Amino acid sequence: MRRTMLGNTGLEVGVAGLGCGGSSRLGTATGRSAAESIALVRRAIDLGVTLLDTAEAYGTEEIVGQAAAAAGRDSLVISTKSRIRREGRLLSAEDIVANLEASLRRLATDRVEVFHFHGIPPADYAHVRDNLVPALLREKEKGKLRHLGITETGPNDPRHEMLSAGLHDGIWEVVMLAFHMMNQNARHSVFPLTLEKGVGTLLMFVVRRIFSDPDYLREIFTTLAAEGRIPADLATAAEPLGFLVHEAGGADDVIDAAYRYAAHTAGTDVVLFGTGSIAHLERNIASILKPALPARDVARLEDLFGALEGVGLDLPRGFKKA
């Protein structure tokens, strides 16, 4: 496993991080047993994954806690999250601290390395900063979390407005953002700030449905071409991203290309991936660890898609768009 520093946190982590939510939720969403999901996490750890990202909303904290205890808790970086609304109501600082305590119980640990506010839209950011952050900083002093993070809601904030503003506050040590090879705008609006300020980055949406469902990808190309956002000939091509797949250092397939593009973009610390399958897990890690795509392929991706915003940012099953 290739390792990197997570911003200025002092945490050295594998560049491939296991996302324990998404549509699969470690396979629990598709009928896997808890034992099977624990085995999946253990396999990821055996392959060098050190960052496990979960959340109260995912229903996988207990699985992560059991797998981490069996594998050796001190060698792992656990990231979890609290939503800030319940039934439409903004939560109080007391509510958030209670959520932290509940996450620690489910994870069977006395601390997490990163605790995030989960999926924060721009309109709610001031409440988080002014009313909730002070309480969590007090919990940080008690050792219940080592680093404070925040995650955006890509489908509801495609221009990264929350992070673009919030990163100037000097509060956040780690952020999670939506980024993929047809949704690259963070290269200009977020990564310059995280690099300047030493904020760690966790990337979500790197593959998701857009690159794993060929029919859906063609549908997206048709729509983008009709809107004049990409060249029209891409909508009629049998394989619109086929230029990425070739023998001269190119990708094995579109998913391989997506992971490699994200992993080698300046500003990326950790690429998160989700899965319910050990075979799929192994392929994903292998792709993330491969060399960068050829420079000409990267240049073409950025020329074709660099101006796009909000493409392919579908919420996982069971989540609703705000």
The sign one gets for the Cα dihedral 90, 94, 98, 101 is positive
Q: How sure is the predictor about 23, in pLDDT bands with cuts at 50, 70 and 90?
A: confident
Domain ranges within the chain, ordered by starting residue = 3-305
Among 1-15, 23-37, 40-54, 250-264, which is the least confidently predicted range? Answer: 23-37
End-to-end, the C-alpha distance of the chain in Å comes to 37
| CB-based contact 229:158 (threshold 8 Å) | no
**pTM given for the model:** 0.96
Tokens 């768009």: give the residue. 321
Residue pLDDT, tens place only, 80-115: 999 999 999 999 999 999 999 999 999 999 999 999
Q: How far apart are CA 168 and CA 162, in angstroms?
A: 10
Q: What is the model's pLDDT at position 107?
A: 98
Q: How far apart are CA 275 and CA 290, in angstroms?
A: 19
Q: How sure is the predictor about 318, in pLDDT bands with cuts at 50, 70 and 90?
A: low
Question: Which option is the CATH number for 3-305: 3.30.870.10, 3.20.20.100, 3.40.50.620, 3.40.50.10740?
Answer: 3.20.20.100
Residue pLDDT, tens place only, 107-136: 999 999 999 999 999 999 999 999 999 999
